[in-house]
């Protein structure tokens, strides 16, 4: 049986160089009234894409209880961020390109990761396996990034917490590993390979966010992590 805490620790270690940069961007976004509602709307959009992708990879007649629960919780995360985006804006907001930050890169984050998995498993891939791996890899990033964001939200006293969301994301991580193991599909080699791809897409997304924001307040240090690939410890 896989040790999830060990994998989380390994993920954290291999992403340590992205932590300050990420925190700096999140702090900048959360402290800026012009941008914070756009940011939460973008997170809502990403959660919505995630939940849509769960639906798209399931056949209606085989969707099981853990998948429905997962779908329900990811939709709930989209609702949570949407609620606070609208509260902070003081008005309703949809997912138009003008009210999102770097939406094309947000879509590319999921689309390219999924394409990498389809490429790995082949054209006749079992979509359940792809769904489980996609969710697993995205959950590692979600737990990591939302822990950083949680501190920024608290520091800026934005009036909500990510406690419940974080507990659910952690639960999804556990569930994906358990289900991949049950299907005899879990492979740490694959996890490492997909972590490496995901990391590049994450950096690309964060770069796009900085670019759209004009980079000034969010300028990172010159030793940019763009070119660093994940290397197993
Ligand atoms: Fe989520
Ligand atoms: Fe999740």
pLDDT of res. 44: 98
**What distance in angstroms lies between residue 169's CA and the mean position of ligand 1's atoms?**
6
Say whether pLDDT at 11 is over 80. yes
| Cα-Cα end-to-end distance for the chain | 20
61 — phi, psi (to 5°)?
Answer: -90, -5
**What distance in angstroms lies between residue 214's CA and the mean position of ligand 2's atoms?**
30
CB 29 within 8 A of CB 36: yes
CB 105 within 8 A of CB 204: yes
| Residue with token string 């054209």 | 123
124 class by beta-carbon count within 10 Å (0-12 exposed, 13-18 middle, 19+ buried) = exposed
SS3 assignment, position 232 = coil
- Segment 37-93, tens digit of pLDDT: 999 999 999 999 999 999 888 876 788 899 999 999 999 999 999 999 999 999 999
Mean predicted confidence (pLDDT) in 139-165: 97
**What distance in angstroms lies between residue 125's CA and the mean position of ligand 2's atoms?**
22
Mean predicted confidence (pLDDT) in 151-156: 97
CB 193 within 8 A of CB 228: no
User: H or E segment at 135?
Assistant: helix 127-155
Q: Which ligand sits nearest to residue 47's alpha carbon?
A: 1
pLDDT of res. 217: 45
**Per-residue H/E/C for 72-94:** HHHHHHHHHHHHHHHHHHCCCCC
pLDDT of res. 221: 38
In whole angstroms, how large is the CA radius of gyration of the chain?
17
Q: How far lies 14's CA from each of 9, 21, 42, 105, 169, in Å?
A: 9, 14, 26, 23, 20
Confidence of residue 28 (pLDDT cuts 50, 70, 90): very high
What sign does the dihedral 25-30-36-42 (CA atoms) show?
A: positive
Q: Which ligand sits nearest to residue 78's alpha carbon?
A: 1
pLDDT of res. 232: 35
Structural domain boundaries in the chain: 19-216
**What distance in angstroms lies between residue 223's CA and the mean position of ligand 1's atoms?**
30
């Amino acid at each position: 049986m896989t040790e999830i805490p060990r994998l989380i620790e390994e993920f954290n270690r291999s992403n340590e160089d992205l932590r300050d940069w990420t925190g700096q961007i999140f702090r900048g976004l959360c402290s800026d009234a012009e941008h914070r509602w756009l940011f939460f709307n973008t997170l809502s959009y990403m959660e919505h894409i995630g939940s849509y992708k769960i639906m798209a990879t399931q056949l209606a007649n085989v969707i099981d209880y853990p998948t429905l629960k997962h779908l329900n919780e990811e939709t709930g995360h989209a609702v949570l961020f949407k609620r606070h985006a609208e509260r902070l804006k003081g008005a309703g907001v949809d997912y138009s390109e003008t009210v999102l930050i770097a939406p094309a890169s947000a879509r590319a984050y999921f689309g390219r990761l999924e394409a990498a998995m389809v490429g790995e498993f082949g054209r006749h891939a079992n979509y359940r396996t792809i769904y489980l791996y996609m969710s697993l890899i995205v959950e590692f990033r979600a737990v990591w990034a939302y822990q950083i964001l949680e501190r920024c939200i608290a520091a800026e006293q934005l009036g909500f917490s990510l406690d419940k969301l974080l507990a659910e994301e952690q639960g999804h991580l556990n569930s994906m590993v358990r289900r991949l193991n049950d299907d005899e599909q879990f492979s740490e080699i694959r996890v490492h390979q997909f972590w490496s791809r995901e990391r590049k897409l994450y950096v690309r997304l964060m770069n796009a966010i900085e670019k759209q924001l004009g980079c000034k307040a969010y300028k990172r240090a010159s030793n940019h992590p763009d070119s660093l690939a994940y290397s197993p410890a």
